[in-house]
Amino acid sequence: MEFTQPISSLVLANGVVILAALVQTSTGMGFGMIAAPLLALVSLEYVPGPMLFINLFLSLLMLGDGRANVVQREVAFLLPTILIGTAIGAAIVMLVPTDTLGVLFALLILVAVAVTVFAKALALTSRNLAVCGVAVGVMGTATGIPGAPLVVLYQNERIEKTRPTMALVFTFSYISSLVALSFAGAFSAQLAFLGLMLLPGLIIGYAAGKRVRGYMTKATGRFLMLSISSTGALLLLLKSI
């Protein structure tokens, strides 16, 4: 399997993954919103497939850390509806012309940022969980950022609960999105290999995130996530235009 990116690109991409994994590991959210726009700036080849693939490993690690605190009732409503959203997201990827992908990707990231900033926390009702599941599937498959809808639901919940619950939801979302993208012709063995080249950054970021977990507040993680993702998306939009 040959490299599809130069070494300089892989070094930059691993630096992005270190930062994103650190925030995700310490706060339970943020990987996709930080990594997606910055990786897209390095090369659109990294998103969404390779980024989703490498983030799957991080979610499995985080799930192992706190699986006893997963809220089964909430997961039972989220997982089936994620499949519906995943199919919609795959259709979007198939229909969007390649030359406009960067613009659409940047705009969807900005939408995710706006939702995260302005949407008020929703009650964890069955209806809200189901709607959120569809949104997770669409955003996760089309952009690699399934977290924005979950932030709206879980922003006022205890981090000890949200971290493992979201890890399980993310794991399911990533697997279903990768399967859908494969059928849509947007993910392949070569792109999976490219994702594996980001594994060093993931391991470093995960280890660092566990060390700062006691110091990284939810507010700090939220600030980093939103400021980095919005800046990256704007830069990507300008670059694509």
Which residue shows structure tokens 């955003």? 139
**pLDDT value of position 1:** 45
For residue 39, give the nearest of 191, 169, 174, 176 by alpha carbon: 191
Query: What is the band of 13 on the pLDDT scale with cuts at 50, 70, 90?
Result: very high
For residue 141, give the nearest of 111, 175, 169, 117 by alpha carbon: 175
For residue 134, give the nearest of 117, 148, 155 by alpha carbon: 148
**pLDDT value of position 8:** 92
pTM: predicted TM-score of the whole model, two decimal places: 0.86
Q: CB–CB of 89/183 below 8 Å? A: no
Of 1-10, 106-115, 190-199, which has the strongest mean pLDDT? 190-199
**Does the pLDDT value for residue 66 go beyond 70?**
no
Question: Is 200 inside any structural domain?
Answer: yes
Question: Is 24 inside any structural domain?
Answer: yes
Question: Is 182 inside any structural domain?
Answer: yes
pLDDT in tens, 100-155: 878 888 898 888 888 888 878 778 899 999 999 999 999 999 888 888 788 778 77
Of the candidate ranges 25-34, 68-77, 121-130, 204-213, the one whose mean pLDDT is the lowest: 68-77
Work out how many domains the chain is built from and give that number: 1
Question: Is 147 inside any structural domain?
Answer: yes
Question: Is 1 inside any structural domain?
Answer: no
Domain that holds residue 67: 7-240
Question: Is 14 inside any structural domain?
Answer: yes
Question: Is 2 inside any structural domain?
Answer: no
Bond before 149 cis per omega within 30 degrees:
no
